Chain A
Amino acid sequence: GPKVLQIPSHQIIDMGQMVTLNCDPVSNHLYFYWYKQILGQQMEFLVNFYNGKVMEKSKLFKDQFSVERPDGSYFTLKIQPTALEDSAVYFCASSRGLVNTLYFGAGTRLSVL
């Protein structure tokens, strides 16, 4: 089936550093998402992105977070600076439309020390 690729699978950084999580969505999908999941808990919506713009963001999407997809390349989530509470698995997802199936990447496990 359609694949969403996430790079890297695991990232370990020191608190206060910047980190960029990369996502290669399904090629014909138009909507892109980031979710945060702390071990075995719920999928927490961060942000969705369409046509080069943020459509909606949650309270978890702090000022230190930003997303972009320059020139149709990777859809990225940047956290600058990172905090200890940012440690989690971050899932990227994409869909053809808002009312279509979301396909999730394998996730990036972020460990902030």
Chain B
Amino acid sequence: GEQVEQLPSILRVQEGSSASINCTYENSASNYFPWYKQEPGENPKLIIDIRSNMERKQTQGLIVLLDKKAKRFSLHITDTQPGDSAMYFCAASGNSNNRIFFGDGTQLVVKP
């Protein structure tokens, strides 16, 4: 099975509402969970990350939550704006012999 599963694949929200993207991972040794935003024609860029010593992290309208027992982590964008429209990738890594694994991405569309 996939190391990291990401849902939904497409998310359409109204401007000003919140958006949530959920990921699960297989490897219980994972301890680093970055989120990347990729705008059309651009490269993926890190927007926020969380390590396993934390359950919640917030920065500039982004919140990430980590539930290690459930092997689940999520990104929440509060007060979405059209500029938030992009592809978002979650990822997990943390075993010293194991590379980072990406989810399949979520296409977020924020409608004005």
Q: Does A110 contact B (CB under 8 A)?
A: no
Complex contacts, A100 vs chain B, CB 8 Å: 32
Q: Does A84 contact B (CB under 8 A)?
A: no
Contacting pair A91 B44 (CB below 8 A): yes
User: Which of the four size classes fits the interface of chain B?
Assistant: 20 to 34
Contacting pair A55 B99 (CB below 8 A): yes
Of A42, A45, A101, A107, which is within 8 A of B43 by CB? Answer: A107
Of B42, B44, B93, which is within 8 A of A99 by CB? Answer: B93
Please, how many residues of chain A have a CB less than 8 angstroms from a CB on the other chain? 21
Known A42-B102, A43-B89; contact A99-B43, beta-carbon cutoff 8 A: no
Of A41, A45, A48, A104, which is within 8 A of B44 by CB? Answer: A104
Contacting pair A40 B44 (CB below 8 A): no
Q: Does A106 contact B (CB under 8 A)?
A: yes
Contacting pair A99 B105 (CB below 8 A): no
B68 shortest CB reach to chain A, Å: 16
A41 shortest CB reach to chain B, Å: 7
Q: Does B100 contact A (CB under 8 A)?
A: yes
Contacting pair A102 B43 (CB below 8 A): no
B9 shortest CB reach to chain A, Å: 9
Known A40-B87, A41-B105, A43-B102; contact A98-B93, beta-carbon cutoff 8 A: yes
Contacting pair B102 A98 (CB below 8 A): no
CB-CB contacts of B71-112 with A at 8 A, as 1s and 0s? 000000000000000010101011111111111110100000
Q: Does A105 contact B (CB under 8 A)?
A: yes
Most buried by B among A43, A45, A48: A43
B30 shortest CB reach to chain A, Å: 9
Complex contacts, B31 vs chain A, CB 8 Å: 99
Known A105-B43, A107-B43; contact A99-B49, beta-carbon cutoff 8 A: no
Q: Which residues of B contact A (CB under 8 A)?
A: 31-32, 34, 36, 40, 42-46, 49, 87, 89, 91, 93-105, 107
Q: Which residues of A contact B (CB under 8 A)?
A: 33, 40-43, 45, 48, 55-56, 91, 95, 98-107
